[in-house]
Structure 1
Amino acid sequence: MEAVSGDAHGRSFEEVCKALGTNLDSGISEARATELLKKHGRNELKGQAGVNPWKILLGQVANGLTAVLIIAMIVSFAVQDYAEGGVLVLVIAFNTAVGFIQEYRAEKTMDALRKMASPSAKVIREGAQHRISSGDAVPGDLLTFEVGDIIPADCRLLEVLNLEVDEALLTGEAVPSLKTVEPIVGEDVTIGDRTNMVYSSTTVVKGRGRAVVVSTGMATEIGRISKAISETPTQSTPMQKKLNKMAYVLLVCALLLALIVFAVNKFEFNTEIVIYAIALSIAIIPEGLIAVITIVQALGVRRMAKQHALVRKLVALESLQAVTNICSDKTGTLTQGKMVVTTVWLPGHDAEYSIGGQAYETEGNLSSRGRVVAKEAALEDVNFRTLVECCALCNTANIVEASEGKVWGDPTEIALQVFAYKMNMGKPMLRKIKEPVEEFPFSSDTKRMSMVCQGADKELQDVYTKGAEVVLTICDNVMDRTGDLRGITGDEEFVKLVAVHQEEMAKQGLRVLVIAYRQASEKAFGKPIAKWDRAEVERGLTFIGLVGIRDTPRTESEISVRQCHRAGISVHMLTGDHKATALTIAREVGIMEPVTGSKRAREASHAVVPISTSVMTATEFDALSEKEVDALDELPLVIARCTPSTKVRMIEALHRRNKFAAMTGDGVNDAPSLKKADVGIAMGAGSDVAKTSSDIVLTDNNFATIVQAVAEGRRIFSNIRKFVLHLLSTNAGQVIVLLIGLAFKDGSGTSVFPLSPVQILFLNLVTGTPPAMALGIEPASSTIMQVPPHLRGLFTKELIMDIFVYGSFIGVLALTNWVLIIYAFGNGDLATLCNTASNLDPCSTVFRARSAVQMSFTWMILFHAYNCRHLRASLFTTEGGGRSRFFANKVLVASVFIGAVMPIPTLYIPTLNTDIFKQGGLTWEWVIVMITLFVFFFLSEVYKLLKRRFMTTPYNM
């Protein structure tokens, strides 16, 4: 294979393909593509890998939580407390390793998902078209592209049809470049003058084309410019920022607590006082918080990927749970997207034609009034034949094997092409006698598409036009069965007749297209076809007939819409279809139906809205001023004939009502609304511009996947609240024990630890972290989609109250054990040096009391994990199907059981118990520990009972 990237523009495309070993029709083979991928590497710029392990490692130690532990470790070694210092080294190493491994995996997962959701390429290999990641494109690949696509590599054009490409990224030219295929000979031809080339990262703004890849990766023009591109730093999400802020608040609290210890001991900086200050400081820090958050987010991203939702931005994980309104497209999202032509109406005919067969089936009967009509007889009608020609030629879809799903193109285009195949007049057959010479693509502004074709008569060109009802306004004539024309300008009766048939077809849920035709000539325009103006071509047309296309709603759409209503989420359908069609589909999927169920569910839903305001056309909605829109009782649930600008207005209107909106889109013009929405959701089969503007990409284009993603976002947010509550209430309990513990002084006037520093670290990491991780993977509550969206942030008043209430229960009960064993059942002697001594005899009572505090603390925080599963429901409440709540989360069961047993050996293993943990074995004290656990259970149930009785706000945990 010759090198052609430097002079591809100066050679004919046949020469370029020959040099690259590419067949003009079938492209290259998969085996050849694999070989070239190994040789040239992936088609991506350096720095796009996105994962820097050293940066991740630095991030694990550069935070407030780890900073406290490092300071405590340094101080421990400074005062020669090598046991505690050694444990802290292990703790820091363990925490850093866990955090590094999980975040590294999360970043690798995110990187993989970014690549899956990155701009794609449509390649022809072995004669069939495939959509691949742009990173897999290789030199020699045959590409096709159309409006909205991002060019994945530098390519030599082979075929163009009205192709214009925005190359401002490379040339700085604001005007798109009109493309050709002829060689451009000359020295020092600038990029802007290479009109037979398209370049990586530029965008198709008009028409379509076919090209062969000549350069990929860093060999492209953008690659040469971008050799020094560095990795874009990952931005923290709002929740991460709040948690980071919390970490620094805790750091300040830790320093204040250390200051309190020194103040109580009159600023005597002896070893024991310093160690106590360290113990109190590390008690307030939830050491496992960073690792748990990283794991939960990583698992959430992977879980959503399995549900066909690729998360491009982590912020979407927390944004999804707050969604109050979903603005969805209809075709392919609420419906199956496999459209099929079912009805044809022609003027002058007694009845409509019905077309049999399913979507993508190229065989089907033609009937009228229930009787089969011979296709050959129907095609003798000039009107009918012209309509079929328009469906086949004014069309960008391609069919290889329709029955096997080997089709590509817009669903509507595919339906029209399949209809032409059923009439034995598919594009391949007609192309033999009529070649396309100019295309005016469909746009949201004109709402129509036109194709100019050249037949046997070189003097005349055929113009085929299809589109919305606006096409009728540019028709001057109507054709009868013999081909004769009759003027319809000013014929209101005929316009009304067409409108009646449109309305009837739309009421059946059909998407109605108007078909029109005319003949034109270069002589009439006085200039070459390539310079014809669209407005000149699309006038004076002849009305041919109407085509009705059925897009069956997905069976799961109605269920998902009703789920949204129960969850307090309003669903809006923004579609380009006729108003009657949109209304029919909206009713079928439940958008316009009243929601049955509880009063709260009915109030949460906006489904019961008068039709006059809930269904509008884009023209009606856009005609309203902002004040008029804001004055509406409810925003429209259905907007028909929707334009991209209407979508933007809808998002702005929702934001003025303080709503949190998700918007779906697939076209290049949808990018503004996707960016403006709180959560932009692109379709996997949509344009690359839409994907790069979105937060989430749906690989299955299914509305049900959006609802699943919202539920997953709620689950992740709920679980983060659960384990944050668990960790912080544990820390609050430890602070209470150690602060009040300052009052217990030995004979030398030194405060005696109710918990030793090593015990605290053991509680926070070994005992507390695994249940917190288990809470992070907790399955969604059965009521997760039955309450309104949560808009109050992470640290609500209820969560803060729960932290202090449960922390107080844990701290006071643990401290009660200390008091009972030393003073009620002991002699009240705190001895001396029991904070550092390893001799059990003089400190026996203190060591046993400390063990009782440790074990009661351990079992209470393990039991507390079950409290955190649902902070209002009783532990006696069963899950769905009558299952016990205790065994629903297997990981939680295992972590609680192991956590309950693990500290027991530390009580009895010699040296480990006295020298490291500063504790001793328990005997009769186990009774007190068991009673403490029972009291904690009783207090928790009473507290939750009071919340259920007096707190009326919905709760989704």
Structure 2
Amino acid sequence: MQQKQHYTGLTDKEVLESRAKHGVNILTPPEKEPLWKQFLEKFKDPLIIILMIAGILSIGISFYEYFGLHEGGAVFFEPIGIFVAILLATGLAFYFELKADKEFTILNQVNDDEPVEVIRNGNATKVPKRDIVVGDIVILSTGAEIPADGVLLESVSLNVDESTLTGEPLCHKSVCEGDFDNDATYPTNSVKKGTKVMEGHGIFCVTEVGDNTENGKILLSVLGKKVDSNDTNLDERKIEAAQKLAEKNEISSSVKTPLNEQLDGLSDLITKLSYGFAAFVIIGRLIAYFFIGDNSLEWAHITAYVLQTLMIAVTLIVVAVPEGLPMAVTLSLAYSMRRMLKTNNLVRKMHACETMGATTVICTDKTGTLTQNQMSVNDIKFYGLNSQMLGADKKSGIIKEGIVLNSTATLDLKNPSRPSVLGNPTEGALLLWLHNMGINYMKLKDAAEVVEELPFSTERKYMATVVKSAFIQGKNILYVKGAPEIVRSLCKHVDGDVSDDTITRQLTEYQNKAMRTLGFAYQVLENGDKTIENGKVVAENMTFLGIVAIADPVRKDVPAAVKECINAGIDIKIVTGDTPGTAKEIGRQIGLWTVKDGDEAIITGPEFAALSDSELDKKVLGLKIIARARPMDKKRLVESLQRNSQVVAVTGDGTNDAPALKAAHVGLSMGDGTSVAKEASDITIIDNSFSSIGRAVMWGRSLYQNIQRFLLFQLTVNVAACFIVLVGAFMGTESPLTVTQMLWVNLIMDTFGAMALASLPPSRSVMCDKPRNRKAFILTKPMMKDILGVGGFFFLLLVIFLYIFQHTEITQMTDLLHCQLGEANGLSPYEQTLLFSIFVWTHLWYMFNTRSFETGKSFFQLKMSKEFFTIVAIIFMGQIIIVEVLFDFFNCTPMKFLDWIIIVVLSSFVLWIRELWHFIVRR
């Protein structure tokens, strides 16, 4: 027999004193490598190594030209420019890695902010896990993660998963000495931080927090920190489990997404092509040197030329190889993760951002997701009462005692005028109903004595408690509460002699109004009466008291959100434990189910279980509602949909939802769900709303489009850059673009391009499209047309300018109006600067085109991000500084102001022609 006590917990002052004495409830994070080491890691990149080799070769050439050929000090500007470009590239990569790491660190800390039920100042309330202190009284319920080490004060059928510490998936916990297991790793009446409640509930007092917990000591040992061996038994099994826990709790940034796999294949293809271009450049420049023009055959000049040729070829590979792709993906995902958090989507695993965009089916819960989860008692039918109000009579006392004692919920009464529910919302609604009638439920709770409890389970669909009653002196009473039809089947009598037909009609009426119903029963126990055996009620003389109807209105934003998803080609399926009538009414209210769908679109849990896998696979796409669903039904539904080549997202808030959340392509846990559900999920919907799920789909689709835009921009630049350098190699001895110039182009299209296009905001227009084929190649036909068409146009434009510059002398752009072509005389430094500027400015304007690619809208109609314009401004100013200030390092010559105006204005026609074309098409 166990007496439920009224705990007062710590006062606010005692909390502060305890925290000052024992510390905070946070595990010390592992020490990171110093920043200088992280920065040096960037130089291990193969492409950076190649660049450094090219830079060293350039230094050797410059030393020879300076000391051997007695040329001026300007020969050292190119190698200096190469190393400046290397430092710029590694510096930016380092900065963005730190930025991404910061994003992940913030998300990893979210676990410390999860709310925990505690008793403080005599009141049940919630505080963040990090705020738990030694001496706190913590309330445990099924699915909760235990926030700190402690000693149990109460326990009911309490089983804990201690696999993260001992490898034991289920350990029975109890406060009864007769249940103690002397062979257990940890005392039976103790609980440890990081373990999880798999069944039952209890209350414990915190004895250790943070690094002083068993979990903390093991993790410190894994990290190589000194731990007092007297404080903990650190065997290999615990350390291995702790390592797995640490790895599992990390939000990995290296998860291979379908997008990553596509990009890897694309990168391999481009890399092979770039090697081919580099080989042709080497051949072309050697042919040009030996067979075109009058070049020196001295070994010194030949060596210098060959080294320069190799350097150009290597740089061309650096430019062509899309090393910016991984960064573009990471930046887009990290950016989306942070922004999605503002729309109540906490991304726990990075790949989920992108996968949500490919979702074809969403399997959703009803309560809290489609409905407001603001349970309130709408109507009661206690058949032994003459009215709905509870009085001072014995029957009213039994009803009140049954509601209060046969419950795991509590009320936070810090603000008595607006109490909030802690625990199960349905049970909380009953306590709120008593509170609103002026009944002090805590007095009722303290007056009675709990003898035995049977916790609620989704399989039984009821809960039971044996109580030493305060209303019938010297008697124990069995109270049962749960699904009305199941509770009624356990009863021999019905209060008020109401017929079963009347009860059925009443239930149907409530359920057709989408109300949740609870049935209540009791039995005054005599000596020898059976109560609870083998996890079920076996009492033989129970009386059915009546029904309570609890309303949970549909969220106002859900019908529009459901319609948006359906229009986006996404099927929605409701999976609920409610009755078919209730589920159908909710489906009707949100616009998912109509009369045309008929009953064929609705199935119950038993009917679902009776189907074979092949029968289910044939029927599953037509189903819209699964009512009276059992825990494993949802997982089986997910697996069937996946066999039908669907990309499935699943919502869940309970421990029993974890298998389905794990099995789905994207698991979506609810903000007030259990820790087990959250850990099994990829995204946590903080506000529990279905609208947030729709926004997650929008973000996923927009993210994929941003990656496509980056690819479109980069590969178009690649086509123009590779071909102009290749053709230039066959047209003369001078490369149209120098090594340092190509490195600047590489920086624009890789790093800056990734930054600009990854930060674009999502567009609601993507919700008008159908889901993309997950296996489709990322380069679509329109993209290929633009890459080859626009890239080819830029190449031809540059070839024309290159040919003109090589066959006439141009001192300013206006000379093109009256130039006469003659024999090839190479490129002057000014002509090379003009060609370089034309290349950069045309592609900068083209970046605006890629922003509006396939939107069907003008660039000026689209929502932009300040990051995009910031990057454009950086490129704009960078090009001016390179040509006008750092010209020696980039083999440039300062340009005339008029030439600046002409090139910037004329290259902008890249944007205006696109705008004109789309205006004509729209007209």
Q: Do the structures match in fold with TM over 0.5?
A: yes
- 1:79-128 Cα shifts (integer Å, max 9, x gaps): 33643332232222222222222222322222222221466532233334
User: Is 1:446–2:439 an aligned residue pair?
Assistant: no
Checking the alignment, whether the CA contact within 8 Å between 2:479 and 2:521 is kept in structure 1 is yes
User: Is 1:501–2:509 an aligned residue pair?
Assistant: no
Checking the alignment, whether the CA contact within 8 Å between 1:158 and 1:209 is kept in structure 2 is yes
The one-letter amino acid paired with 1:916 is F
- 1:590-646 Cα shifts (integer Å, max 9, x gaps): 2225xxxxxxxxxxxxxx862212222212222211222222273421211122111
Aligned to 1:3: none
Checking the alignment, whether the CA contact within 8 Å between 1:151 and 1:201 is kept in structure 2 is yes
**How far off is 1:265 after superposition?**
3.9
Residues of 1 paired with 2:684 and 2:152: CA distance? 30
Aligned to 1:605: none
Cα 1:469–1:51 shift into 2, 3 Å: farther
- 1:785-810 Cα shifts (integer Å, max 9, x gaps): 11112234562333344333332222
Residues of 2 paired with 1:324 and 1:858: CA distance? 41
Cα 1:163–1:924 shift into 2, 3 Å: closer
User: Is 1:869–2:851 an aligned residue pair?
Assistant: yes
- Alignment partner for residue 90 of structure 1, among 84, 98, 114? 84
User: Is 1:461–2:470 an aligned residue pair?
Assistant: no
**How far off is 1:538 after superposition?**
5.1
Q: How is 1:376-525 mapped onto 2 (pairs within 5 angstroms)?
A: 376=391, 380=393, 382=395, 386-401=398-413, 403-456=417-470, 460-472=475-487, 474-481=489-496, 494-521=499-526, 523-525=528-530
Q: Residue 7 of structure 2 aligns to a residue in which SS?
A: coil
Cα 1:476–1:926 shift into 2, 3 Å: closer
Q: Residue 175 of structure 2 aligns to a residue in which SS?
A: coil
Flag the structure with more relative contact order, 1 or 2, with Cα contacts below 8 A and sequence separation at least 6. Answer: 2
Cα 1:659–1:190 shift into 2, 3 Å: same
Checking the alignment, whether the CA contact within 8 Å between 2:653 and 2:677 is kept in structure 1 is yes
User: Is 1:113–2:107 an aligned residue pair?
Assistant: yes
Cα 1:59–1:945 shift into 2, 3 Å: farther
- Alignment partner for residue 613 of structure 1, among 568, 585, 600? 600
User: Is 1:214–2:234 an aligned residue pair?
Assistant: no
Cα 1:215–1:935 shift into 2, 3 Å: closer
- Alignment partner for residue 162 of structure 1, among 146, 157, 161? 157
Q: Residue 497 of structure 1 aligns to a residue in which SS?
A: helix
- Alignment partner for residue 125 of structure 1, among 116, 120, 127? 120
Cα 1:289–1:30 shift into 2, 3 Å: farther
Q: How is 1:129-168 mapped onto 2 (pairs within 5 angstroms)?
A: 129-168=124-163
Which is worse superposed, 783-792 or 919-928? 919-928
Cα 1:561–1:265 shift into 2, 3 Å: same
Residues of 1 paired with 2:336 and 2:186: CA distance? 48
Residues of 2 paired with 1:707 and 1:590: CA distance? 15
**How far off is 1:826 after superposition?**
5.6
Q: Residue 333 of structure 1 aligns to a residue in which SS?
A: coil
Residues of 1 paired with 2:125 and 2:45: CA distance? 46
Aligned length: 851
- Alignment partner for residue 79 of structure 1, among 49, 58, 61? 61
Q: Residue 403 of structure 2 aligns to a residue in which SS?
A: helix
Aligned to 1:689: 676
Cα 1:789–1:615 shift into 2, 3 Å: same
Which is worse superposed, 682-691 or 167-176? 167-176
Residues of 2 paired with 1:138 and 1:564: CA distance? 45
The one-letter amino acid paired with 2:780 is K
Residues of 1 paired with 2:622 and 2:536: CA distance? 35
Residues of 2 paired with 1:623 and 1:948: CA distance? 55
Aligned to 1:604: none
- Alignment partner for residue 890 of structure 2, among 905, 912, 916? 916
Aligned to 1:600: none
Aligned to 2:233: none
The one-letter amino acid paired with 2:318 is I
- Alignment partner for residue 797 of structure 1, among 775, 780, 788? 780
- Alignment partner for residue 260 of structure 1, among 280, 305, 325? 280
Checking the alignment, whether the CA contact within 8 Å between 1:502 and 1:512 is kept in structure 2 is yes
Residues of 2 paired with 1:274 and 1:115: CA distance? 49
Aligned to 1:664: 651
**How far off is 1:552 after superposition?**
1.0
Aligned-residue CA RMSD (Å): 3.6
Checking the alignment, whether the CA contact within 8 Å between 2:379 and 2:550 is kept in structure 1 is yes
Residues of 1 paired with 2:11 and 2:822: CA distance? 87
**How far off is 1:288 after superposition?**
5.0
Residues of 1 paired with 2:178 and 2:521: CA distance? 37
**How far off is 1:650 after superposition?**
1.2
The one-letter amino acid paired with 1:729 is T
The one-letter amino acid paired with 2:492 is N
**How far off is 1:71 after superposition?**
3.7
Which is worse superposed, 78-87 or 317-326? 78-87
- 1:848-875 Cα shifts (integer Å, max 9, x gaps): 332232222122111111211132356x
Q: Residue 222 of structure 1 aligns to a residue in which SS?
A: helix
Structure 2: 5+ residue stretches without partners: 63-74, 224-242, 288-301, 809-818
User: Is 1:276–2:312 an aligned residue pair?
Assistant: yes
Cα 1:762–1:121 shift into 2, 3 Å: same
- 1:311-342 Cα shifts (integer Å, max 9, x gaps): 11111111111111111111111111110111
Aligned to 1:597: none
Q: How is 1:588-603 mapped onto 2 (pairs within 5 angstroms)?
A: 588-593=589-594
Which is worse superposed, 285-294 or 70-79? 285-294
Aligned to 1:5: none
**How far off is 1:435 after superposition?**
2.0
**How far off is 1:134 after superposition?**
3.2
**How far off is 1:943 after superposition?**
8.4
Aligned to 2:728: 741
Residues of 2 paired with 1:467 and 1:850: CA distance? 83
**How far off is 1:405 after superposition?**
3.7
**How far off is 1:510 after superposition?**
0.9
Cα 1:540–1:828 shift into 2, 3 Å: farther
Cα 1:802–1:130 shift into 2, 3 Å: farther
**How far off is 1:726 after superposition?**
1.2
Q: How is 1:814-825 mapped onto 2 (pairs within 5 angstroms)?
A: 814-823=798-807, 825=819
Q: How is 1:605-644 mapped onto 2 (pairs within 5 angstroms)?
A: 610-632=597-619, 634-644=621-631
Checking the alignment, whether the CA contact within 8 Å between 2:617 and 2:641 is kept in structure 1 is no
Q: TM-score, normalised by structure 1?
A: 0.81
Residues of 1 paired with 2:79 and 2:593: CA distance? 66
Residues of 2 paired with 1:537 and 1:192: CA distance? 35
Which is worse superposed, 75-84 or 155-164? 75-84
Identity among equivalent pairs (%): 29
**How far off is 1:690 after superposition?**
0.7
- 1:164-217 Cα shifts (integer Å, max 9, x gaps): 3333554555653141166999xx965447222112232223221111111233
Checking the alignment, whether the CA contact within 8 Å between 1:95 and 1:291 is kept in structure 2 is no
Cα 1:886–1:219 shift into 2, 3 Å: closer
**How far off is 1:546 after superposition?**
1.2
